[in-house]
Structure 1
């Protein structure tokens, strides 16, 4: 994605500065892509600040009177949960079989509630809610990717769930598609096909390390604290029952996927091998200016202030 005109401004994790940015720059499009869906990377309080409070502030900034006309929210298929009575495929309108039990599922439910409320209150704004399946890519770190990189891949004894994946390129492309076409509504984003977890384990060239079918969360809790297993409860349930989401609605809107679920796994395997060969290097990112410097010198702010007011 080319970002020649992109400017960066530091914000705190709950986006409290966003209203001023929208007003000063005359923002017409917001992409909300920073929901926390990996509970191992933040505390419950941080997750609440980012997901719930951050989304509230984002929609406050986008509400009338505002220049915002398009909002795209990156959510997760975790919104559907996972349970033994689930259908093979979740459509966008399929309700959860059970109430959310984990903190991350509850926060996603709250976020999506704010999306629905904002959509009802602002019919002139195109609001797109994208629910992504398990994302795989060359530089994506999730509980599932970390599980696939372990010497023994965690699996629940007696279960071989079918999972679905989305390649990182399709993730970016679908967000841009929703933005450029001003899609309105909820859309599932996932590559075609479901893969048994045993097949995924075989594709990465590993053997399974079995967790007990009863009390798996109790067993893994001390292992998580020791850094030996990095699977939160919601993901253990996923490795028990699996999940599939129907992507036909997004296809009907005109979007074409470049990767099936199997191709996304294959791409992940190749990237993992390359990473083991070359090592993992992450350049440290630093902001070049603080918020006030942004508002003083941003070309977008200056252009917006000089534009004639209606």
Structure 2
């Protein structure tokens, strides 16, 4: 298929990525209509983004785990689907079990609906470089053909592996649909608010003693450019999407104007259970082993080169400089998290000395 689709369905429209992609697609004269679906109604700034985009966007409150999404696709004569409704962390109601059900079951039901949608010609699925995992056995650089050396520990990484497996099955059943899987590196940018960005916002940043992993980031505006091209151009396949080059964790912390606090791994692991204040297991493994992916395939196919990891991270840092002073309650929560980590580290060290 060479022509741009006239009707596009975007999942996760009540979240930052979905709402802004829907607005960008609505601004494209090649696209006549954007159908946004999510289990919740967009609110606040995201609702304003969608309203400002005009009448080309129709928003429907639909849970992907229900048959409603198929009816919406058939009724709207959808030709392309951009599946962005993939939760990245468990800091939501229901914890890990709810996250897995939304990600895995929701994606499975969506693909079942896509299989039955007669006009569908294009499918774009949000994935992550977390699918490669992070371990001491990793290669220096991952290509799209590299298999994970170990099963990832983190829930998000396991979910995207399951989702990609469903996409492979969908490709076999609907070879007429151009399916694109985008493995995004961690997002960074002035408007991005994730566990990763909050980690670098800490005045004192805990790191794993003796480890300085290589990291890659992707500016969220470059992610939108890749998503729009995926929708409007025939670009099937699986692609790594990341900024060229790397930063070590210590370099990133210094660029952010913060101070590192090296702790034993159990100390940082303690932060994985602290909700918005902590890190996920996926990020914990990343901060121990690092991860670097090759983006040659993306650049050749898309004709687009994202800004480098260093450029993306520096822009994020500049956007934070206006708010250097953190609220007192945030400072207290960070200090308490560090103290808890130190206590766990001392307990782990004592257990090792006792031979337990």
Cα drift, residue 235 of structure 1? 1.0
Give, in whole Å, the separation in 1 of the partners of 2:82 and 2:205.
Answer: 34
Deviating 4+ runs (over 4 angstroms): none
Find the counterpart in structure 2 of residue 59 from structure 1: 111
Structure with the bigger RCO (C-alpha within 8 Å, sep 6+) is 1
Q: Does 1:266 align with 2:314?
A: yes
Find the counterpart in structure 2 of residue 193 from structure 1: 245
Q: Work out whether residues 207 and 261 of structure 2, in 8 Å CA contact, stay in contact via their aligned partners in 1.
A: yes
Q: Work out whether residues 40 and 230 of structure 1, in 8 Å CA contact, stay in contact via their aligned partners in 2.
A: no
Find the counterpart in structure 2 of residue 301 from structure 1: none
Q: Work out whether residues 219 and 312 of structure 2, in 8 Å CA contact, stay in contact via their aligned partners in 1.
A: yes
| 6-15 or 79-88: bigger deviation | 6-15
Find the counterpart in structure 1 of residue 83 from structure 2: 32
Aligned positions of 1:128-167 closer than 5 A:
128-167=180-219
Q: Work out whether residues 243 and 307 of structure 2, in 8 Å CA contact, stay in contact via their aligned partners in 1.
A: yes
Aligned positions of 1:64-103 closer than 5 A:
64-103=116-155
Task: For residue 117 of structure 1, give the secondary structure of its aligned residue in structure 2.
Answer: helix
Task: For residue 9 of structure 1, give the secondary structure of its aligned residue in structure 2.
Answer: strand
Q: Work out whether residues 40 and 232 of structure 1, in 8 Å CA contact, stay in contact via their aligned partners in 2.
A: no
Find the counterpart in structure 2 of residue 250 from structure 1: 298
Find the counterpart in structure 1 of residue 353 from structure 2: none
Find the counterpart in structure 1 of residue 49 from structure 2: none
Residues 244 and 19 (structure 1 numbering): CA distance in 2 closer, same or farther, change over 3 Å? same
Q: Would you say how many aligned residue pairs link Structure 1 and Structure 2?
A: 274
1:23 aligned residue (58, 64, 74): 74
Cα drift, residue 14 of structure 1? 3.2
Q: TM-score, normalised by structure 2?
A: 0.73
Give, in whole Å, the separation in 2 of the partners of 1:249 and 1:9.
Answer: 35
Aligned positions of 1:205-216 closer than 5 A:
205-213=257-265, 215-216=266-267
RMSD: 2.0
Give, in whole Å, the separation in 2 of the partners of 1:136 and 1:128.
Answer: 22
Deviation string 1:193-245 (CA, Å, 9 cap, x unpaired) is: 011111100111000122313x34653356x26x6x41122211110110001
Q: Work out whether residues 218 and 312 of structure 2, in 8 Å CA contact, stay in contact via their aligned partners in 1.
A: yes
Deviation string 1:24-59 (CA, Å, 9 cap, x unpaired) is: 110001000121122334511221222111111211
Cα drift, residue 276 of structure 1? 5.7
Aligned positions of 1:158-307 closer than 5 A:
158-213=210-265, 215-216=266-267, 219-220=270-271, 224=274, 229-274=277-322
Give 5+ residue unaligned stretches, structure 1: 280-310
Q: TM-score, normalised by structure 1?
A: 0.83
| 229-238 or 130-139: bigger deviation | 229-238
Give, in whole Å, the separation in 2 of the partners of 1:173 and 1:65.
Answer: 26
1:9 aligned residue (45, 57, 60): 60
Q: Work out whether residues 73 and 117 of structure 2, in 8 Å CA contact, stay in contact via their aligned partners in 1.
A: no
Residues 276 and 206 (structure 1 numbering): CA distance in 2 closer, same or farther, change over 3 Å? closer
Residues 221 and 102 (structure 1 numbering): CA distance in 2 closer, same or farther, change over 3 Å? closer
Give, in whole Å, the separation in 2 of the partners of 1:76 and 1:218.
Answer: 22
Give, in whole Å, the separation in 1 of the partners of 2:263 and 2:185.
Answer: 23
Give 5+ residue unaligned stretches, structure 2: 1-23, 28-52, 328-356
Residues 118 and 257 (structure 1 numbering): CA distance in 2 closer, same or farther, change over 3 Å? same
